[in-house]
Structure 1
Amino acid sequence: MLGDDTTRDRLWRTAARQRGYFTAAQALKAGYSYQAQHFHVGRRNWIRIDRGIYRFREYLDLPSTDTDHLVRWSLWSRDRAVVSHATALAVHDLGIANPAEIHLTVPPGFRARDSAVVLHRAALGAADVEQHEGFKVTTPLRAIAESAADAVDQDVVDSAVSEALSRGLTTRRRLLRAAQELGARAELGVERALREVTA
């Protein structure tokens, strides 16, 4: 039926920008009533990921990336969370960061919680954030500084700083300035990393 195809096409276009994920609100906007949504979940056309978050079944058969799951957290936060800290280092493939937890930075007034993520509260500026497919992530510069401020293993900061400099992503001066803005712990971690690079 043409109407159903058009409805599905609209939702598919939205989901395609989000690695196949979408929210109940996005499905409603595309033309799916809550009853129709329930039907598609029951038929396993849509996979229920979380309360009000789904994914087209077809995406389970497609090659996935290491960052697919981060789209889910962007949708969970209603696009207010930014992937950050050591998780952002891993997204940028900087150094040896391989965090066991997902780190997200959310605005100070953000109220939602989930035991699967570590939330940091900060008001990020546009210069601190990059858009990836379906989610936002802090820039390499910010990710290094906030990881140092969070007191991750010094080896993680050292390797991230070394790689960021060798790839030309930032400069020593910009790294130090970004660290200074986040406090003494960040500054100390970045200074140690810079000494390690020149040693």
Structure 2
Amino acid sequence: MPADRRDLRRRLFDLAAGQGGHFTAAQAKSLGYSHQAQAYHVEAGNWWRVDRGLFRLAEWAAGAHDELARWTLWSRGRGVVSHESALSVHGVGEFESQHVHLTVPPGFTMRNNAVELHYAELPADDVSERSGYRVTTPVRTIIDIAANAHDEDQLARAIDEARRGGLVTNRRLRSRAETLDPRAALYIERAIQQAETP
């Protein structure tokens, strides 16, 4: 393989490595892969076509949350993994969902049946960076879950797990919830009291 092709492949791998093995057609084109070259790599089995204009390296060994990088690319970098999906990332609670949950800015117009969208402008303090995607912090995630009035028993268990894991403190959770959403603050207070009851 000529040096320039090896360099091209290395640059693509470096890019995809930070995005769970995924990359867009536009990103590949910006590196030097023409549309014809992209079609060739799909046909040859080097790349998997995940969605329109979205690929994954065939040799990529999947990580636990690589799929979330795919949906971040789908949202053109505007989506933040949140709600039930963020709880899963943080390893907290037993909330299940058949959708990937993303918080997107108001005015976001894209849709996909696999994604449940939530609309909000998230402050930087409520978001943490992961490899290939961003996720709401444990405190913000629990507040978002509480705002939807989920089962209080599950909420209490999730808060207790997050607290025991050192991800949140009751004080920080109460304080941030009162600032963000009074209704969520009420559910969180009830859940904390339930978790503290022997």
TM-score of the superposed pair, with normalisation by structure 1: 0.93
Q: Is the 8 A contact 1:146 1:179 kept in 2?
A: no
CA displacement 1:32-82 (0-9 Å, x = unmatched): 0111111111111100001111001001xx2x3331111100000111100
1:166 and 2:164 are equivalent in the alignment: yes
Q: Is the 8 A contact 1:149 1:182 kept in 2?
A: no
CA RMSD in angstroms, aligned pairs only = 1.3
Amino acid at match of 1:81: G
Q: Give ranges in structure 1 of 5+ residues lacking alignment.
A: none
**Aligned residues, how many?**
196
CA displacement 1:102-152 (0-9 Å, x = unmatched): 110001121111111100000001100001111000000000000010222
Counterparts of 2:93 and 2:51, CA distance in 1: 32
Q: Is the 8 A contact 2:80 2:104 kept in 1?
A: yes
Map 1:137-148 → 2, pairs under 5 A? 137-148=135-146
* Of 53, 76, 79, the match for 1:78: 76
Amino acid at match of 1:165: R
Identity of aligned residues (%): 48
Q: Is the 8 A contact 2:20 2:70 kept in 1?
A: no
Q: Is the 8 A contact 1:129 1:137 kept in 2?
A: yes
Q: Is the 8 A contact 1:47 1:54 kept in 2?
A: yes
Q: Is the 8 A contact 1:8 1:30 kept in 2?
A: no
Aligned to 1:127: 125
1:55 and 2:56 are equivalent in the alignment: yes
Aligned to 2:34: 33
1:67 and 2:65 are equivalent in the alignment: yes
Q: Secondary structure at the match of 1:58?
A: coil
How far residue 167 of structure 1 moved from its aligned partner, in angstroms, is 2.0
Aligned to 2:4: 3
Amino acid at match of 1:43: A
Counterparts of 1:153 and 1:58, CA distance in 2: 41
Counterparts of 1:51 and 1:137, CA distance in 2: 24
Map 1:82-121 → 2, pairs under 5 A? 82-121=80-119
Q: Is the 8 A contact 1:87 1:103 kept in 2?
A: yes
TM-score of the superposed pair, with normalisation by structure 2: 0.94
